Homo-oligomer: A and B are copies of this chain.
Amino acid sequence: MVMIKIKVKEIQYLLNDSDQVVGSTEHYFTNVQTSDMINEESLDWINPLKNNKQEYLCNSKAKVIICEKQLSIPEAIRNNKCLIMVDNPKLTFIRIANEYFVQINEYGIHPTAIVHPDAVISEQCYIGPFTYIGKSKIGDETIIYGHSYIYDNVTIGNYVIIKPGAVIGADGFGYERNEKDELEKFPHIGGVIIQDNVEIGAHACIDRGGLGYTIVEEGVKIDNMVHISHNVRVGKHSAVVSNVTIGGSTVIGDYSWIGPSSVLKDQIRIGIRSTVGMGAVVTKNIPDNETWAGQSARPLSRFTKISFGE
């Protein structure tokens, strides 16, 4: 990485109107670091959840520090450093660091990738090594890393990121026992729709709809090794953490958080802004705005009534 000096005055366009800058905007940073590695040239930030924010501020070696507006700044620090005072320091840090320290992928199709001649691929996207794309559609500024397998009838929007080894559009796991008690396969002839700004983790599997569509709405973030069955709908701006399994035709409400290694039954409805605990086994509908956890998951408030011996 080339070393670059970024002065505070150069990043002010990334701030909100109500944000305040205290100290000289000629102060600069050249790096971001873990807290134990912060140096004079680091961009530092103070998590509002910290107990000892004042102390952290005084001890940080960094010259440029992002903090909450309500933090009171000792005179000595005002004269010596530059404080960027905002509503959400983490968010401001994210925006600056993403702008200056995260490498951008170049667009193009890797020579080893195989793309179906009838696929419709944006010219402004990246398709990585050993990826296979069927008769599908890939939007603008979308990045597909290596080893992914995209079946036919998959529509992927703009600004989507797909990590290595994702499998999108495979036929679902649906069978019926026949006269001889053998499993006969239900036909899966539907497709998958991935809307804009979605992120899909490594080895995640999103099966196509049986007769209709599996839909991942705008802004949803899916972690590694998540399994999304046929005809599921994941509501916008939800997060599905690693190793989750979502059963067929289940609907997840917008702005939800589905914890790691949880499993959701088929054909249920998870409410808007709901939270599913890690490892939860969810067999029923969850109302909006509730947090459920546990084996045969139920609302967290009920847990407090039951002693688990602790």
Contacts and interface: CB of A to CB of B under 8 A. Distances in A.
A139 interface: no
Contacts of A247: 260, 278
Query: Number of contact residues on A: which range applies?
Result: 35 or more
Interface SS majority for chain A: loop
Interface stretch (A21-29, A54-62, A118-126, A180-188): A180-188
A224 B237 contact: no
Contact of A263 (B94, B173, B260, B294): B260
Interface in A230-245: 231, 237, 239, 241-243, 245
Interface string A237-269: 101011101010000000100001101010000
A276 B34 CA distance: 29
A199 interface: yes
A32 interface: yes
Contacts of A94: 176, 184-187
**Residue of A129, A203, A241 ringed by the most chain B CB atoms within 10 A:** A203
Contacts of A202: 149, 167, 170, 205
B294 A298 contact: no
Nearest to A237: B182
Interface of A: 32-34, 37, 88, 90-91, 94-95, 97-98, 101-102, 112, 114, 128-130, 132, 145-147, 149, 163-165, 167, 170, 173, 175-176, 178, 181-187, 189-190, 197, 199, 201-203, 205, 207, 209-212, 219, 221, 223-225, 227, 229, 231, 237, 239, 241-243, 245, 247, 255, 260-261, 263, 265, 278-279, 281, 283, 294-296, 298, 302-303, 305-306, 308-310
